[in-house]
Amino acid sequence: MAPIDTIITKLKQHIGKEVRIKGWLYNKRSKGKIHFLEIRDGTGIVQGVMSTGDVDEETFTLADKITRESSIIVTGTVHQDDRAPGGVELHLTGLELVAMSEEYPLGKKEHGPDFLLNNRHLWLRSKRQHAVIRVRHAVIKAIRDFFDDRDYTLVDTPIFTPAACEGTSTLFEVSYFGEKAYLTQSGQLYGEAAAMAHGKIYCFGPTFRAEKSKTRRHLTEFWMVEPEIAYATLDDVMDVAEEFVEYIAGFVVKTRRAELETLGRDISKLEAVKRPFPRMTYQEACEKIKSLGVEMKDGDDFGAPQETALGDSSDKPIMIHHWPSAIKAFYMKRDADNPSLALGVDMIAPEGYGEIIGGAQREEDLNLMLQRIKEHDLPMEAFQWYLDLRRFGTVPHGGFGLGVERTVAWLCGIEHLRETIPFPRMLHRIYP
């Protein structure tokens, strides 16, 4: 009987049968008359055992010579083995070489981050990076499912834009047929237009910020999902954000447990991410930060030390609202009782992973919006279409943006954002 073509994650369904797997040699060790080949096929890794008695001499010699990362097609019978990862082992009956790999540069010794990033195209094959990218996929699926199941319409927003959304200091300028344009920092302003057409929308795509400082929490190209909701208040925005993050964490724990284990993540920490999340005002957060012994000047934005202290103090994400308007974006609505405060909210991840969400209720009044655009010295012509949203059927509304890479870093328990996106873009890095 011909062997069954299958993939490593499905081997358990074929115990006792002969199967064929197309993949690569991940690792190899030999002991006398036995070769142990670790085979990967993209879905998982399985150990293949080859004994002299089970294959012809030519095949056994080939296994002897074969190098790491060579592409191979193997056949073998599936044996249950509860000690093996995945619970199975392959007793190899055949080995076909597709291409012998040159000497593989990774994994012989400990490598520094620069070497690994220069070899990102190969580094992606390692167990740990494989697990991170699979968690990322689950985060993205959870994001889409959450909004799709709750009557939001997906509206894609442009990448070339004529104006800033999140401050002029991080704009990437491009020449657009002789005119100045910028890579988008956020789809929000267009999301607001779409929310006036569809009620509840989300946009989801890459966003760009010329972050000139080298930190572990900033990429120059990152993915953001941004829901925008007509008739929503700040409280509504916080309710959605909280349910959303609980959903994502729950989905990842449910569907990517093996990957989280590979990463050594403490899964109980993610299981604790259940509503309600603590909510506090900016002022209360300042008091809290000071009480934790971290320096904090009232009125200042939080930096990494303040976010880390706050996040460390809680086993759930924390939502901080009512910020000094001076440090927040032009589009945020002011508090009716205290116009020096903006109706913005930041969600800080637990365990010191920093801000994962920024959002707000938006200013819906035409004259106040005109005033804000002037105060922020933004080009009035470029915002005429945006002002139209306040001229024609304006309503209270709000939304938020969640950064995919920050979320993946937190869920995976990874220090640096560079491992959370397939090909990271950072200050001084645009290769490969």
- Residue located via tokens 């990271």: 424
Task: Report the residue from 282, 400, 418, 419 that binds ligand 4AD according to the rule CB under 6 A.
Answer: 400
Cα of 224 vs its chain's centroid, Å:
9
Ramachandran bin of 28, using left for φ above 0, alpha for ψ from -120 to 50, beta for the remaining angles: beta
> For the chain, what is the largest distance between any 2 Cα atoms, rounded to a whole number of angstroms?
85
Axis crossing angle, helix 234-255 with helix 127-148, rounded to the nearest 10: 140
Binding-site string for ligand 4AD from residue 332 to residue 361, where x marks contact by CB under 6 A and - marks none: -----------------------xxxxxx-
- Which of Mg ion, ligand 4AD, none is residue 59 near (CB under 5 to 8 Å by kind)? none
- Which of Mg ion, ligand 4AD, none is residue 229 near (CB under 5 to 8 Å by kind)? none
Task: Report the residue from 90, 92, 196, 224 that binds ligand 4AD according to the rule CB under 6 A.
Answer: 224
Task: Report the residue from 218, 334, 372, 418 that binds ligand 4AD according to the rule CB under 6 A.
Answer: 218
Q: How far is the CB of 240 from ligand 4AD (least distance, A)?
A: 12
Whichever of 89 and 405 has its CB closer to ligand 4AD, that residue is 405
Q: Would you state the structure tokens that stand for residue 320, as one six-digit string?
A: 């901080």
Q: How far is the CB of 181 from Mg ion (least distance, A)?
A: 23
- Residue 398: how many CA atoms within 13 Å on its side-chain side? 23
Whichever of 333 and 406 has its CB closer to ligand 4AD, that residue is 406
3-state class (DSSP) for residue 277? coil
- Which of Mg ion, ligand 4AD, none is residue 335 near (CB under 5 to 8 Å by kind)? none
- Tell me the C-alpha to C-alpha distance, in Å, between residue 301 and each of 186, 307, 362: 20, 10, 20
Cα–Cα distance measured from residue 406 to residue 353, given in angstroms and rounded to the nearest whole number = 7
Q: How far is the CB of 55 from ligand 4AD (least distance, A)?
A: 50
- Which of ligand 4AD, Mg ion, none is residue 241 near (CB under 5 to 8 Å by kind)? none
Binding-site string for ligand 4AD from residue 403 to residue 422, where x marks contact by CB under 6 A and - marks none: x-xx----------x-----
Q: How far is the CB of 254 from ligand 4AD (least distance, A)?
A: 23
Burial 284-321 (b: 16+ CB within 10 A, else e): ebbebbeeeebebeeeeebeeebbbbbbebbebbbbbb
What order do you get walking across the sheet with 179-183 strand by strand?
Answer: 160-161, 179-183, 173-176
Which residues contribute to the site for Mg ion (CB under 5 A)?
358
Whichever of 48 and 403 has its CB closer to Mg ion, that residue is 403
Whichever of 76 and 191 has its CB closer to ligand 4AD, that residue is 191
Through-space distance between the first and last CA atoms of the chain, rounded to whole angstroms: 45
Binding-site string for ligand 4AD from residue 140 to residue 169, where x marks contact by CB under 6 A and - marks none: -------------------------xx---
The phi, psi pair for 257, rounded to 5°, reads: -60, -45
- The answer to whether 240 and 149 are in contact (CB under 8 A) is no
Q: Is 222 one of the binding residues for ligand 4AD (CB under 6 A)? A: yes
Cα–Cα distance measured from residue 339 to residue 335, given in angstroms and rounded to the nearest whole number = 5
Count other Cβ atoms within 10 Å, centred on residue 103.
Answer: 8
Binding-site string for ligand 4AD from residue 174 to residue 213, where x marks contact by CB under 6 A and - marks none: ------------x-x--------------------x-x--
Whichever of 19 and 360 has its CB closer to ligand 4AD, that residue is 360
Question: Which residues form the interface with ligand 4AD (CB under 6 A)?
Answer: 165-166, 186, 188, 209, 211, 218-219, 222, 224, 226, 355-360, 399-401, 403, 405-406, 417
